[in-house]
Amino acid sequence: MRETSAVITLTTDFGYQDYYTAAMKAAILRISPRATLIDISHALPPQDIMAGAWVVKNVAFDFPPGSIHLCVVDPGVGSARRPLICEIEGHFFVGPDNGLFPLIADGKPLIAREIINPDFMLAEVSNTFHGRDIFAPAAAHLSTGIAAERFGPLVETPLYFRWAQPISDDEGIQGWVNHIDTYGNLITNIPHKLLPQNGQTALKIYAGTTILKSVDRCYSSVTEGEPVALIGSSGMLEISVRNGNAAELLNVRKGMTVSVVYQK
């Protein structure tokens, strides 16, 4: 018997202006009135699957085993893309088959099932709001202990995306900006463990036209308005501006190169 949890997290790109998030919560609570609903984010850039995956993967596995994560960033709503339930390390993820869940898994084993059983959907399914009509009811039924097998068959080949990996050699590291957070911090795909650990290797970090000569401990290591490189809460190299917006100040966008060059 699987471990169950009444915790359902919600992550969407719906914003806060409209009724969409509330409608999903209403659909959940009609089925599972004792569910604990926790918002991860509803302010993701519209249709940005990578941003959704980055935000969810950095917090989802901190919740209790058996938690259900409703993730609706769905540029293909109404198309032939499949609705999925995915299990990753004892957590359940509900949403569209658009590459989001393999990015969240980030190499962890993933079991995917297609949601086809109409017993676990609303009676009328619209073409434009599967978050309310398919995904929210599925998450609610899961939270009541319904086995994932009852929703539909296994999916052997979900749409699969991978994170770009940094390139490392004796001269340095080339990485990319994976995510830009609400403060404008540039979060790279360069993990802390890939950087020199001896504290003696001189380096230069290039982000756009900016050159930084060290990895500092915190934002206040520099004066206000100055850029700083540090290891953020995700464990990745991050380029920030103290009390400022690094993405705007340095004119850097997601996907741009960040290089660490070792100095002889």
CA distance 106 to 204: 29
pLDDT in tens, 169-216: 999 999 999 999 999 999 999 999 999 887 667 889 998 888 888 898
CA distance 257 to 84: 33
Average pLDDT, stretch 121-150?
96
How far is C-alpha 222 from the chain's CA centre?
29
pLDDT in tens, 58-73: 999 999 999 999 999 9
Domain definitions of the chain by residue range = 7-150, 167-262
pLDDT in tens, 98-131: 999 999 999 999 999 999 999 999 999 999 999 9
φ, ψ for residue 203 (rounded to 5)? -145, 160
3-state secondary structure the chain: CCCCCCEEEEEECCCCCCCHHHHHHHHHHHHCCCCEEEEEECCCCCCCHHHHHHHHHCCHHHCCCCCEEEEECCCCCCCCCCEEEEEECCEEEEEECCCHHHHHHCCCCCEEEECCCHHHCCCCCCCCCHHHHHHHHHHHHHHCCCCHHHCCCECCCCCCCCCCCCEEECCEEEEEEEEECCCCCEEEEEEHHHCCCCCCCCEEEEECCEEECCCECCHHHCCCCCEEEEECCCCEEEEEECCCCHHHHHCCCCCCEEEEEECC
CATH fold of 7-150: Rossmann fold (3.40.50)
Structural contact between residues 82 and 135, judged by C-beta atoms closer than 8 angstroms: no
234: number of Cβ within 10 Å: 18
Angle of helix 136-143 relative to helix 20-31, nearest 10 degrees, comes to: 30
pLDDT at 261: 94
Query: 0.75 exceeded by the pTM?
Result: yes
Let me know if domain 167-262 sits in CATH 2.40.30.90: yes
